[in-house]
Amino acid sequence: MSLKEWFQQKWVLLSLSIMMTVLIVFIVVSSFLYYDIQGGQGEQQQTYIDIALETAPIEQVETDYVYHGDEAYTVVLGQSEEESLYVFVPQKDSLNPDDVSWTSANDVMSKEEIRNKWQQSCSNCDLLSITPGMMNGRYIWELIYEENDSMVFRTYTFEEGDVYDSISFSQN
């Protein structure tokens, strides 16, 4: 083997080693950054859940949702001594306890009922999410789904399940 071939082999090995090291460092740093960001969001969400527990007459949390409308809300479905309640906590920096509101789950359409009502009117659709929220001071269910080549955001009133608002975007 000539000296030139030996240097070329060493150069290729050195280059590959450097590229692999850079790739590994990139993956590790990206992973730490991702988990740091996600952990921060989880902590913030837990803060809003704690506010719901402190403010509303619920003792335990069954599930929680995040609604992103004109104003973001954490919505907690919790259990009081007598009933289940939906608690709506606005996601804002200066939160007044009067900003938190709730309603009995017995007085509204359930998630399953709203899904069934939607399926009757949209049989060839692909449901992506169902989230409770608040729009214009009104409790709503937001359904996000795909229909044909469109992404549809449709809201229904919480109590009766009537269509409240709808917007769609073409995916073309």
For 91-143, how does the pLDDT look when each residue is reduced to its tens digit (9 = 90+)? 988 888 788 999 999 999 999 999 999 998 887 899 999 999 999 999 999 99
Confidence check: pLDDT of 52 > 70: yes
In a domain? residue 157: yes
Confidence check: pLDDT of 39 > 70: no
The pLDDT of residue 86 is 95
The pLDDT of residue 40 is 47
Q: Tokens 């050195």 map to which residue?
A: 14
The pLDDT of residue 36 is 58
In a domain? residue 72: no
In a domain? residue 126: yes
In a domain? residue 84: no
Residue scoring higher pLDDT (165 or 39)? 165
Q: What is the CATH number of the domain that holds 138?
A: 3.10.450.40
Confidence check: pLDDT of 38 > 70: no
Q: What is the mean pLDDT of residues 25-50?
A: 72
In a domain? residue 127: yes
Rounded mean pLDDT of the chain? 86
In a domain? residue 50: no
Measure Cα distances from 2 to 6, 8, 9 in Å: 6, 10, 11
Q: Which residues contact 87 (CB under 8 A, 6 or more apart)?
A: 52, 55, 56, 58, 75, 76, 77, 78, 100, 101, 102
Closest C-alpha among 42, 75, 41, 70 to residue 56: 75
In a domain? residue 95: no
Q: Can you give the residue range of the structural domain that contains 140? A: 111-170
The pLDDT of residue 92 is 85
Q: What is the tally of structural domains in the chain? A: 1
The highest-confidence range among 14-28, 40-54, 86-100, 103-117, by mean pLDDT, is 103-117
